[in-house]
Amino acid sequence: MVDAFKAEIRKIEVLGPHPNIVEYLGFEETPTSLNIFVEYVPGGSIEDHVRKYGNYEVSLVRNVIAQILQGLQHRHSQGFIHGNLTPKKILAMSSSVYKISTLCLSCSVEETLSSTNALDDTSTTYVQASSSTTPLFRAFD
């Protein structure tokens, strides 16, 4: 488990920053713990927001999706995918800036496609705009 965690950290360390991805700041190993340091994102997750305030308006859903797609495109261009994108892992920096949680960002495309569950669609989370019954945002658990 510790070796796998360290391998993930090594992958994250080589990935450059992006405004829509929570920034990795560093890693520390002590005799009793392994610590990863990332940018503080004060706004909470979109899952928390939807539970507390209800569904997002269509215009906000579009804004969030556009930002998340920019972050994902950046990582995909580096040969990496998130591997576990859910509303819980999309964080609000402010009312207009959204970021993807950095953990699980380092799964390489080859590693993910070789996994037997990589394309399993049995557990899917939906976020809907308040005026629509059709899911506008779909993320796999």
pLDDT at residue 100, rounded to an integer: 93
Encode 85-121: b = buried (16+ Cβ within 10 Å), e = exposed.
Answer: bbbbbbbbbeeeebbbbbbbbbbeeeeeeeeeeeeee
**Can you tell me the distance from the alpha carbon of 139 to that of 101, in angstroms, rounded to the nearest whole number?**
13
More confident residue, 69 or 133: 69
Encode 56-78: b = buried (16+ Cβ within 10 Å), e = exposed.
Answer: beeebbebbeebbeebbebbeeb
- Residue-wise pLDDT for 68-115, tens only, equals 999 999 988 888 877 788 999 999 998 789 999 865 545 554 554 555
| Contact status, residue 35 vs residue 78, Cβ threshold 8 Å | no
- Rg of the chain over all Cα atoms, to the nearest angstrom: 16
Average pLDDT over residues 30-34: 88
Average pLDDT over residues 29-33: 89
**Can you tell me the distance from the alpha carbon of 137 to that of 105, in angstroms, rounded to the nearest whole number?**
19
pLDDT at residue 103, rounded to an integer: 56
pLDDT at residue 70, rounded to an integer: 95
Q: What is the mean pLDDT of the chain?
A: 76
Residue 133 reports pLDDT greater than 80: no
0.75 exceeded by pTM: no
| Overall CATH class of domain 2-140 | mainly alpha
